[in-house]
Amino acid sequence: MAFLAGILRVVEPINEWLGRVVMWLSLGIVLVCFATVYMRYALGTGEPWVQELYVWMHAIVFLAGAGYTLLHGGHVRVDLIYGNMSLRGRALVDVFGTLILLWPFAAVIAYESVPMVALSWMNNEVSQQPGGMPNIWFLKSMLHVFCAAIFLQGLAMIARGLLVLGGRTEFAPNTSTH
């Protein structure tokens, strides 16, 4: 049981930290989008890389913040059923849902994206838009950050579920705010 609790102490702070870091990109998205609109309509100019920048930031928030969202129960699930289950039932759903759905999903994305990401790195891929963003490989690599974050949070969900199934109900996820 101590090992499972240790997994939680390691994994959940990683996703908490990553989520809080990329949260700030949301402010960046608003500021860059405002700058793009201002440049276009007030100054009559624009830069393709600035337009692409806020799209990139949005993608990074979504991909890198997925583990944080999973940690805080923000992903879609059928709460009509899950919310009415016992702690033990929720723990079983979390454990088997992670093993049967979440991890295979992450594994397929990680595996299938390797050639695309590797080719992007090898070619030092840049935007196809003249004046667009360089280093597309960085953005494509965020797919692997996404997979790692949700894989790790899935590990924490399994650990939490096994602790609850073992009678340690203090490890049950807090679902009152979701």
With tokens 């993608």, the residue in question is 59
Q: Within a domain: residue 100?
A: yes
Q: In the prediction, which pLDDT does 177 show?
A: 43
Structural tokens at position 36: 């793009």
> pLDDT higher for 131 or 81?
131
Q: Within a domain: residue 26?
A: yes
Please report the beta strands in 7-132, taking only residues with DSSP state E, as ranges in sequence order. none
Q: Within a domain: residue 178?
A: no
> pLDDT higher for 18 or 78?
18
Number of domains the chain contains: 1
Q: What percent of the chain is helix, strand and coil (3-state, nearest 5)? A: 75, 0, 25
Q: Within a domain: residue 74?
A: yes
Q: Within a domain: residue 127?
A: yes
Quote the domain boundaries for residue 135.
Answer: 2-171
Q: Within a domain: residue 176?
A: no
Cα dist from 27 to 36, 58, 141, whole Å: 14, 10, 22
Model confidence pLDDT, tens digit, residues 108-158:
999 999 999 999 999 999 999 999 999 999 999 999 999 999 999 999 999
